[in-house]
Amino acid sequence: MSPRIVVVGSSNTDMVVRLPRIPEAGETVLGGSFLRADGGKGANQAVAAARLGAEVTFVGRVGADELGERAVAGLRDEGIDVSHVSRDEKEPSGVALIFVDERGENAIAVAPGANAALSEDDVERAGGAIETADVLLLQLETPLPTVERAAAVAAAAGVTVILNPAPAQPLPDSLLYRVDVLTPNEGEARLLAALPGDDATREATAGRLLERGVRRIVVTLGAAGALVITRAGEEQLVEGFSVDAVDTTAAGDAFSGALAVALAEGPSLAEAVRFACAAGAVAATARGARPSLPRRERLELLLASGR
Ligand code: ADP
């Protein structure tokens, strides 16, 4: 049977303008090219899990507008259950305006719109789906009380909770102790642990988060792979796969979505992290977010090659 995964999170439309340089305040820069793409960490991670063979339900909120319709259609086309995506009558769909210059540097402005209205009631309405899932996958692009409610519903039903703490913000212990696996990158881990600069070694940072209630932490390290640290005292570096990286956008989303699938399929965290590293690596080999999220066959090839 396919693993069942519920994602409670954000859906955005990315409006990307590539141009010679990023405009300063009050300035107009001509000569750009425009691309529109589906995005949002929640929706991206839902798609990542679906492409790897999971039965995915997405719980989110879009506006009653054309961007929202397109975003939902994009998820439906991936085979994702969108029956718990609500339409907000007041707020527009979430939008990210992204400038990318010739060197690949970017500047991003996000208007969360309906994502900011995803409520605890929305989570309650999806309670049946969450309670019968193998894994609940969360991020931080929707309101914290909503994220906390979802984690509480899952934890009470014994469902594994994965939290990708991005974008980083301080989190209460009441949330952290319901998290089975936390997947920060290094910057996010440091922010969450809130240790003074010199004391914030990888180990001290993870140790602080374990003290606060997280059971297992997987710190993603870009091309280097990921570091697994558990409350049981295990520590293991899972090496990254060597690939020709062209754009690491959504590597973290591919990683978290894949980790959810692998953990739902088998108990070994180290093996699940290896699978997730393969997904992140493949995502780094193609441009854009959604187009780069890998399918199962591609991952199996990379895993079998062992590189
Ligand atoms: P984020 O994008 O959230 O900051 P990372 O950059 O750490 O996260 O990437 C997430 C995962 O994707 C990494 O743990 C790694 O497994 C994989 N990955 C990212 N960049 C590369 C790369 N250049 N080469 C190989 N794997 C990569």
pLDDT tens sequence across 140-194 = 999 999 999 999 999 999 999 999 999 999 999 999 999 999 999 999 999 999 8
65 given a catalytic annotation: no
The stretch 41-47 carries a mean pLDDT of 98
Would you call the peptide bond into 294 cis, given omega within 30 degrees of 0 as the criterion? no
Task: Please pick, among 38, 88, 122, 253, the residue that the annotation labels catalytic.
Answer: 253
Counting from 1 in the atom list of ligand 1, the atom nearest the Cα of 245 is 23
Angle at 16 between CA 13 and CA 20, to 5 degrees: 170
Asked whether the predicted pLDDT for residue 9 surpasses 80, the reply is yes
Confidence band for 96, pLDDT divided at 50, 70 and 90: very high
Q: Specify whether the CB–CB gap between 133 and 5 falls below 8 A.
A: yes
pLDDT value, residue 280 = 97
- Selected residue with higher pLDDT from 196 and 132: 132
pLDDT value, residue 203 = 83
pLDDT value, residue 2 = 93
Asked whether the predicted pLDDT for residue 65 surpasses 90, the reply is yes
Those residues whose C-beta lies under 8 Å from the C-beta of residue 34, and which sit 6 or more positions away, are 15, 16, 17
CA of 68 relative to ligand 1 center, distance in Å: 29
pLDDT value, residue 204 = 87
Question: Nearest to residue 85, comparing CAs of 96, 95, 73, 77?
Answer: 73
pLDDT value, residue 97 = 95
Q: Specify whether the CB–CB gap between 49 and 137 falls below 8 A.
A: yes
Nearest CA to ligand 1 atom 7: 222
Counting from 1 in the atom list of ligand 1, the atom nearest the Cα of 250 is 2
Average pLDDT, the chain: 95
Phi, psi for residue 45 in degrees, rounded to 5: -70, -35
Longest dimension (CA), the chain: 56
Which segment, 75-84, 98-107, 208-217, is predicted with the most confidence on average?
A: 75-84
CA of 299 relative to ligand 1 center, distance in Å: 15
CA of 219 relative to ligand 1 center, distance in Å: 10
